[in-house]
Structure 1
Amino acid sequence: MKPLHWKLVVDASDPHAQAAFWAAALRYREEDHSPLVRRLLGMGAVPDEVTTTVHAGTEDERLGWRDLAAVRHPDEPYDEATDAGLGHRILFQRVPEAKSVKNRIHLDLHAEEGARDKEVARLIDLGATVLHEVNEPSGSWVVMADPERNEFCVQ
């Protein structure tokens, strides 16, 4: 049987800020849904209130979904009509409640050999925080949190 395709979905207070952080953190690409949004608005298929302006006032300004944003691996296939990734992809969806407990799932980021401290510093510059460092016989890593306090590790 053929393996299942998947995407990781993350609840967020601000899906576009989370997408911007994770695109920079992973060196992924923020998906640009503006052609699809414009097409559906033009057809009258969606109301204006489900859309938003993403990166307002910048050269990257575009239309997007108010409650959804996504990032995708830059070298993997994507749907040219929607810019939706067809490979490694993370979708951020707005939810009304704030994060309140430890994640049940998290990402482990693997820095290049000898570059973990540099990678941690880069992620801090992007808005992440260090929660603690782990040094065990099985290995060492840094536990961090993204801007909405979702935990992830850097090895």
Structure 2
Amino acid sequence: MTALNWKLVIDAQDAPALADFWAAALQYEVEDPSPLIGQLLAAGHIGEDVVTEHGGRKIFRGYAGIRHPEDPFDEASGVGRGRRLLFQDVPEGKTVKNRLHVDVHAGPEGTDALADRLEKLGATRVREIDKGMAGRWWLMRDPEGNEFCAA
């Protein structure tokens, strides 16, 4: 049996901006769908109304994906075929605690240096959690208020 491909989809109010934050936080790459968009526009399969520009590239309005830089991806669409997050705009804002969250693990720099770097990208520290032998981490929020942990 072969493992399934998957992506984690995250609701957002500004998908491209949130994708930029998480790409920088995780050291992932923002996907570039502009070649696919160019083909679809030229063939008349989509109209300009579903396209916008972000970071100098054409993207699908309301969507942005990021992928691990070492994972394979489809060059025609820019879509990752491995560890991937997709951000999609939704009309409603976040109102309650996340039922699912990302844990970002520190490298040799340590947890506090990781939390400092994430703050510089736009995250907010909520509180430090110290469980003794079980570990210590920071509960944080991304620029749209989604909780995550820096450990």
Backbone CA RMSD of aligned residues: 0.9
1:4 Cα deviation from its structure 2 partner: 1.7
Structure 1, unmatched stretches of 5+, are 56-60
Structure 2, unmatched stretches of 5+, are none
Paired position in structure 2 for 1:139: 135
Q: 2:104 & 2:62 partners in 1: Cα distance?
A: 26
Do residues 150 (structure 1) and 143 (structure 2) align?
Answer: no
> SS at the partner of 2:94?
coil
Paired position in structure 1 for 2:93: 98
Q: 1:107 & 1:81 partners in 2: Cα distance?
A: 29
Q: Which amino acid is 1:145 matched to?
A: R
1:114 Cα deviation from its structure 2 partner: 5.1
Paired position in structure 1 for 2:23: 23
Q: With structure 1 as the length reference, what TM-score do the two structures score? A: 0.94
1:83 Cα deviation from its structure 2 partner: 1.1
Runs of 4 or more consecutive aligned structure 1 residues displaced over 6 Å after TM superposition: none
Q: Deviations over 1:42-71 (max 9, x none)?
A: 11111111110112xxxxx01001111000
> SS at the partner of 1:148?
coil
Report the number of matched residues: 150
> SS at the partner of 2:130?
strand
Sequence identity, in percent?
49
Paired position in structure 2 for 1:49: 49
Q: With structure 2 as the length reference, what TM-score do the two structures score? A: 0.96
1:113 Cα deviation from its structure 2 partner: 4.1
Paired position in structure 2 for 1:116: 111
> SS at the partner of 2:76?
coil
Q: Which amino acid is 2:31 matched to?
A: E
Q: 2:70 & 2:109 partners in 1: Cα distance?
A: 25
Q: 1:15 & 1:102 partners in 2: Cα distance?
A: 19
